[in-house]
C-alpha cells in the first residue's frame, strides 16, 4: 500500500477541480480526498495497493482538462491513510 499527497498550485479553485478529480478517481482503484486550502492551493491525498495504479490516477489528472490549470505540483509520499474507504471531496 502506498499513499501520496499532491499540492496543486495554479488556477485550481473555483473551476470544478475537486469535482473533476473525484470523477477521475472513480475510474481507478484509489481512495483518499481532495480539498481546497486557504492559500489557494488544492491538496489531494490518495492511496492504492498498487503504486502503478496510483501513478496512473495522478497522470490522468495531469492529462485531463485540469492539466492546463495546474502551474505547479508538489508530490510527496505520506503515511497510509487510515479509515479511507472511498475518494471524497473535503470541505
Q: Which residues are catalytic?
A: 18, 36
- Nearest C-alpha neighbor of 34 from the set 11, 56, 54, 17: 17
Question: Using an 8 Å Cβ cutoff, are 15 and 40 in contact?
Answer: no
**Consecutive H or E run containing 54:** helix 51-63
Amino acid at each position: 500500500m502506498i499513499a501520496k499527497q499532491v499540492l496543486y498550485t495554479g488556477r485550481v479553485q473555483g473551476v470544478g477541480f475537486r469535482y473533476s478529480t473525484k470523477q477521475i478517481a472513480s475510474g481507478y482503484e484509489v481512495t483518499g480526498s481532495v480539498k481546497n486550502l486557504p492559500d489557494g492551493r488544492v491538496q489531494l491525498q490518495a492511496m492504492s495497493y498498487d503504486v502503478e495504479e496510483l501513478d496512473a490516477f495522478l497522470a490522468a489528472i495531469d492529462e485531463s482538462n485540469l492539466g492546463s490549470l495546474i502551474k505547479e505540483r508538489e508530490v510527496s509520499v505520506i503515511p497510509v491513510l487510515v479509515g479511507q474507504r472511498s475518494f471524497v471531496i473535503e470541505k
